[in-house]
Structure 1
Amino acid sequence: MSSRPARTAGKHGPRPDDHVIVLFGATGDLAKRKLLPGLFHLARAGLMPSRYRIVGSAPAAEALGTEEFRKHAREAVSEFGSARPEGPAWREFEDALSFGAADPDDTGPLLAAVHEAERAVGGSPRRLFHLAVPPKAFPSVVDELGSTGLAEGGRLIVEKPFGTDLASARALDATIHAVFDESRVFRIDHFLGKESVDNILALRFANGLFEPVWNRNHISHVQIDVPEQLTIEGRAGFFEGTGTFRDMIVTHLFQILGFVAMEPPATLTARSLRQEKDKVFAALRPLDPAHVVRGQYEGYRDEPGVDPHSDTETFVALRVELDNWRWAGVPFYLRSGKALGQGRHMVTLGFREPALRMFPLTTQDTAEGRHNALVIDFDDPGRITTRFLAKEPGPEMRLGEAEMVFAYTDCFTTAHALEGYERLLLDAMLGDQSLFTSSDGIERLWEVSAPLLHDPPPVQSYAPGSWGPESVHRLIRPYRWYLPEER
């Protein structure tokens, strides 16, 4: 893990060793929407191994035959893929698909399917197991892989949530580490596979324009804002036991915070990147419930399967602080929720005002301050906006807001860009853990979250289509949320 693994060049980038990929939960929603279409896109881009097989798996009650699985994959790619399932590329991909059911008391069909796939590939292909199953099924699947010997030398992709608190995260890690050592575990967060998240590293560390001012001397506050317009969409069974804090903040927004706040890594290797991100998590102060706003959209308790007295939050905003030399005294404001005004993925860095006020203040300036900002939209394909003040034309020295914008679509071709899951599936096959979460990191996040989990403030109601409870504006004062983008 000390360096990036050697890679064989493919058509448009690195190419992994030969593989047998086993998808547990292959008949489920994640496989249908992301994994099967993503693997086909990698194949079309020349980024799959030269020789590979994909074995779908599910409990016997949900099992498919190989031809049924191929039909299922065709429908998934047709509905959710970026290219039609047709032509030589599809026929080659389809031929690589097979299915093997697996139950704790009968792993024979899965073993037979994996061994047949390995014979078809030839040589000694690597094994990659993807747990696209509910968290409660993780222990039994991991135990199956250990008891059958399939885990030997293989790698494991684990889906979120990585526990629901510190105790459950430690128990999950102990279960996994009994079969797979940490160097072979890939805790996947599709946010970290976005091109624009990688671009945060490039923006910071490749440009002398930004790195010298990326600290408490020049930045007044940071916002990481991921509002969603969607409601829970019938997922009450999952959401009631999870809530927005566990679903979004611990899993996604804290990870983005790690990239924004980390020190320069010595190299762009998995070890260096993960060490610097984990140092950020080590510097996190325990969360103060007094600096947290929890919300619930009106009508949530009427959703099918939701407790009519539910206290589950569909919205959360919080203030986070770091105890280190770079960021001491700089508040980080994180916000995410369902049924909000827009669906966006934003990081906003507010810069301090110059010490000398040589320009007259307007009433709006007095009320809100005049802050330059660097705004990173990390939704695909992504853009970066620098907001600054410039003189308005005319005889008087009047200031107006101006912007400089970098947009991926205007500057680079995105024809061969990979979605988050596609990038991370490729990295897992390559053995590159740079964009995956470590066990130490996730356990530390649950540790600092304990005060909030033990004593959460009550939920406050908010209207669907709004920006959450009104108290979020008090939380961020003397600043204001960048979203909505009002000028």
Structure 2
Amino acid sequence: MGSGNWHVEKRLSIRNDSFTGADDLVPETGCLSIVVLGASGDLAKKKTFPALFNLYRQGFLHPDEVHIFGYARTKISDEELRNRIRGYLANDKSSPQQLEDLTKFLQLIKYISGSYDSEEGFKSLDKEIATHEISKNSAEGSSRRLFYLALPPSVYPSVCRMIKKCCMNKSDLGGWTRIVVEKPFGKDLESAEKLSTEIGKLFEEPEIYRIDHYLGKELVQNLLVLRFANRLFLPLWNRDNIDNVQIVFREDFGTEGRGGYFDEYGIIRDIIQNHLLQVFCLVAMEKPVSLKPEHIRDEKVKVLQSVMPIKDEEVVLGQYEGYRDDPTVPDHSNTPTFATVILHIHNERWEGVPFILKAGKALNSRKAEIRVQFKDVPGDIFKCKKQGRNEFVIRLQPSEAMYMKLTVKQPGLEMSTVQSELDLSYRQRYQGVTIPEAYERLILDTIRGDQQHFVRRDELKAAWEIFTPLLHRIDDGEFKPISYQPGSRGPMEADELLERAGYVQTHGYIWIPPTL
């Protein structure tokens, strides 16, 4: 990409920040050092480095300003790290331009080996960063330093102490130091608060970016625009019109080699308490005062604090048959691989409306979606209630789409009705437009200083307060998962729970993603 295009992109990105209302943005000038801690791990190879490469290709990371540092315990050379990640950034089908860009990008990466709890390695890292900054003619302290912790949460405190002691900008000349921490943020309320306190002693809240990649997904980012920029939805989005809301995550495969890790957390910690709860906030929150990040996050916290305690009779847990066959999983594991949990919000807008959060592995399909089901039409003169209700569905992945299920007249001479849809399928409507990966968007937001799509400390606390009592009962063996067949819909009891909650399943209608 030519320098002219890059400067256009740069100006667009700054204008976009003013639109989103990001506070206290540091101008995007000067030296930028991005440090990927845990550089030899799977997360860095599969997500972090590919996101950085795509940002580089689109002109958001300019070679005259940026340098990327990998840091991990593994003793390898710069070239060995580059070779390890090369296959995740390009392949035999890549275009010549992409391969040329890859060669240039890899030269921006330098590797430093060191432990996560000793000063020696981090002093070496600081020295390399400083050398890079000097080479870019940056005054001491005026540069930008971004530390991405692609690491287990157990080492966050020691790594943050080392960054604070050895690698901060040394003076106040307009530069910054920011850290990005990956989920899981603790295992319950107590451990999350402990982790927040330890990191909070070292860094101010504006310097901490707790990343949940679901908040970077295109359709999730569209929720605020959809809800608050369209007159159509404003009068409908409440308990008078909506009967229930489902937020669903389904995978058609099991733990597949991650059994030991997954067994430590389970489906509620892994998916529901963070990913689905973030989507829940955006669906249920009130309109913020503005699009400034803090105003949006204020409303998310309010709706979390309005959630009623979870009732036992509104929870179904499952574990697929064969899960314990994994040698890394204990023989008597009580960890759920499936969960349906109903949340109730105690406020004027949502009183009495069940929010159904459902996630599972080894099911009969793979998808993530939001399903808003409206109440029955009063005085049903067409006798079409049995065909199903109006639903507004937001398909987050795969095949991103939004569609409204409507009852319409069946074409022909008879007055008969059928369900159809008004459909906005992204693949068809936005042909040739590449939907950015979530990590690309969120890393760029971190560089810009926009915390809108990151989890604030009080938000994290409120989320854990909702689920911790249930999680402790599961951990103590008081709440048992029901066995279900791989490739099924999950436990039959989950469908029965949905029916009791008021969800009406549509029979005879299936949404089919359009093909080009």
TM-score normalised over the length of structure 1? 0.92
3-state SS of 1:434 partner: coil
- 3-state secondary structure, aligned to 1:23: strand
Mark the CA change 1:82 to 1:421 in structure 2 (over 3 Å): closer, same or farther: farther
Q: Is the 8 A contact 2:90 2:99 kept in 1?
A: no
| Residues 1:52 and 2:66 aligned together | yes
SS at match of 1:471: helix
Aligned-pair CA distance for 1:12: 8.9
Whether 2:39 is the aligned partner of 1:26: answer yes
Task: Confirm or deny: 8 A CA contact 2:245 2:371 kept in the other structure.
Answer: yes
How far apart, CA to CA, are the structure 1 residues paired with 2:264 and 2:137? 44
Pick the aligned partner of 1:479 from 480, 500, 503: 503
Query: Alignment partner for residue 55 of structure 2, among 42, 61, 78?
Result: 42
When residues 126 and 205 of structure 1 are mapped into structure 2, their CA distance, relative to the original with a 3 A threshold, is: same
Letter in 2 for 1:43: Y
Structure 2 segments unaligned to the other structure (5+ residues)? 1-5, 15-27, 171-175, 512-516
Change in 2 beyond 3 A, CA 1:45/1:12: farther
| Corresponding residue of 1:400 | 418
**Contact persistence 2:39–2:71 (CA under 8 A):** yes
Q: Distance in 2 between matches of 1:146 and 1:43?
A: 28
Q: Which runs of 4+ in 1 moved over 6 A?
A: 80-85, 482-485
Partner of 2:76: 64
Please give the alpha-carbon distance, in whole angstroms, between the structure 1 residues aligned to 2:41 and 2:412. Answer: 62
Offset from partner CA, 1:222-241 (integer Å, 9 cap, x none)? 00001011211111221111
**Equivalent residue, structure 2, for 1:304:** 327
Q: 1:147-204: per-residue Cα shift (whole Å, max 9, x none)?
A: 2143763101000001110000000101111111111111111111011111122211
1:376 aligns with 2:394: yes
Please name the residue that 1:443 is paired with: 461
Unaligned runs of 5+ in 1: 1-6
Deviations 1:85-120 (A, max 9, x none): 855422331221101123223223322222223223
User: Structure 1's 86 and 402: CA in aligned 2 closer, same or farther, altered over 3 A?
Assistant: closer
- Find the counterpart in structure 1 of residue 88 from structure 2: 76
1:176 aligns with 2:194: no
TM-fit CA distance, 1:83: 6.6
Shift of 1:376: 0.4
Give how far 1:361 is off.
5.0
Tell whether the 8 Å contact from 2:384 to 2:417 is kept in structure 1 after alignment. no
Q: Distance in 2 between matches of 1:307 and 1:45?
A: 46
For residue 378 of structure 1, give the secondary structure of its aligned residue in structure 2. strand
* AA in 2 matched with 1:46: G
Aligned letter for 2:32? H
RMSD over aligned Cα atoms: 2.4
8 Å CA contact 1:169, 1:443 repeated in 2:
yes
Give, as a single letter, the amino acid of the residue that structure 2 aligns with 1:327.
W
Q: Could you tell me which residue of structure 1 aligns to residue 314 of structure 2?
A: 291
- Residues matched between the structures, number: 474
Question: Does the Cα contact within 8 Å between 1:224 and 1:253 map onto a contact in 2?
Answer: yes
Alpha-carbon distance change, 357 to 450 in structure 1, aligned in 2, over 3 angstroms: same
Paired letter, 2:484 = Y
Change (3 A) 1:163 1:91: same
Deviation track 1:19-66 (CA, whole Å, cap 9, x = no partner) reads: 10000000100111111111111111111245100000002xx13222
User: Which of the residues 153, 157, 167 maps onto 1:135?
Assistant: 153
1:240-275 Cα distance to aligned partner (Å, 9 max, x none) = 110000000011000000111111122222111111
- Note closer, same or farther for the CA distance 1:255–1:469 as it changes in structure 2 (3 Å cut): same
Contact 1:45 1:416 in 2 (8 A): no
Instruction: Kindly provide the CA deviation profile for residues 295-340 of structure 1, in whole angstroms up to 9, marking residues without a partner as x.
Output: 0000001012110110001111111111111111100001111111
CA contact (8 A) 1:286 1:450 kept: no
Query: Who is 2:358 aligned against?
Result: 335
Alpha carbons of 1:443 and 1:82: their partners in 2 closer, same or farther (altered >3 Å)? farther
Aligned to 1:265: 288
Q: Which one-letter code corresponds to 2:503 in the other structure?
A: Y
Q: Which amino acid aligns with 1:475?
A: L
TM-score, with normalisation over the residues of structure 2?
0.87
